[in-house]
Amino acid sequence: MPRPRSMERIDQRPGDWISRRIKVASDKTIGSQARTYAEYRVFAALIQSADTRNARSVHVVLRHVDPDSECSEVACRVTVRRESDTVRVRASGAHAYAAINRAVERLKAASACDSAERTSS
């Protein structure tokens, strides 16, 4: 049975387009819950930005800084490819969630600075 036509419009809701373009990769020691959290936090940060529509793809990488250590820090790298440039932020923390939160704060700051520079020109 074909889907109702109105259901096909789901892809046109605000923000849906970017959620399909967020890719989260990690080493095998980082669980799926942390990867899902990263996707959610980055998505939430991006939809608050005035430049959201310029984002073409987003790649998040989570990895342990020293995988052989028992208390290894986790690094989070976020790369946002936009129409005219690329924004990259990196952060680390005692665990994946701390690293993700720090990277998101840096992403928000970078987006705010970039937006301010563009409006003041």
Q: What would the pLDDT profile of 5-58 be if each residue is shown by its tens digit?
A: 333 333 344 455 555 578 999 988 899 999 999 999 999 888 887 666 677 889
Domain range for 36 is 14-120
Q: pLDDT by residue (tens digit) across 77-120?
A: 999 998 888 999 999 999 999 999 999 999 999 877 655 444 33
Note whether residue 100 is domain-resident: yes
Residue 75 resides in a domain: yes
> Three-state SS string across the chain, please?
CCCCHHHHHHHHCCCHHHHCCEEEEECCCCCHHHHHHHHHHHHHHHHCCCCHHHEEEEEEEEEECCCCCCCCCEEEEEEEEECCCEEEEEEEECCHHHHHHHHHHHHHHHHHHHHHHHHHC
Q: Count up the domains in the chain and report the number.
A: 1
Q: What CATH number did the domain enclosing 78 receive?
A: 3.30.160.100
